[in-house]
Amino acid sequence: MSVFQDSQQFYDTVGELLQRAARDPAIGPTVARADTIIQLRYTDPPARITINARGLPTQFGAYVDVFLGPCDLEPEVIMSMTGDLAHEFWSGHVNLASALARRQIHATGPVIKVLRLVPAVEPLYQQYPALLKAKGLDHLILKQETSL
């Protein structure tokens, strides 16, 4: 069984997280400098999120545009994964480079552009559980691993 009930719940959590990041003055400008279009394709539940970091954003107050669902933009980088893996990633439990090496995430295009963004999006690892809590989804919050 998937972490998310359906695509709408996925968009209401992971999608909203990325839309917030697009407006965050500590994250958005760094993503904008990537000068690329990234499409995140998910299964279980099916979902698609496209981040347009090329040109000026069309969404008021954003540094980049984030589109939830189908999008006509031609992505330069495509990353495909399950919704559960996305949940684990935004919870801070998945190393992107390791997931790519283990083929838990399938990617095409210049993936280095995405890898360079990881330090910029690390604050989202704390924001994601707070977003889940605010939405009454406490049961989805993963416990932080402790190091010995």
Tens digit of each residue's pLDDT (9 = 90 or more) over 23-41: 999 999 999 999 999 999 9
The whole-angstrom separation of Cα 10 and Cα 4 is 6
Residue 148 confidence (pLDDT) above 60: no
CATH code: domain 7-134 is 3.30.1050.10
Overall average pLDDT of the 70-85 stretch: 97
Does 75 have pLDDT greater than 60?
A: yes
Per-residue model confidence (pLDDT) at position 125: 96
Which among 40, 35, 37 has a CA at the least distance from the CA of 89?
A: 40
Give the pLDDT band of residue 55 (cuts 50, 70, 90): confident
The predicted pLDDT at position 147 comes to 46
Long-range contacts of 132-140 (CB under 8 A, 24+ apart): 132/13, 135/12, 135/13, 137/13, 140/3, 140/13, 140/87
> For the chain, what is the mean pLDDT?
95
In angstroms, the CA 46 to CA 81 distance is 10
Q: Check: CB of residue 124 under 8 Å from CB of residue 23.
A: no
Alpha-carbon distance of 105 to 91, in angstroms, equals 16
Residue position matching structure tokens 């981040």: 51
Nearest to 13 by CA among 143, 145, 141: 141
Greater pLDDT, 137 or 145? 137
Instruction: Judge whether residue 145 has pLDDT over 70.
Output: no
SS3 115: helix
Task: Give the residue-averaged pLDDT of 91-99.
Answer: 95
Distance CA 102, CA 54 (A): 30
pLDDT higher than 80, residue 64:
yes
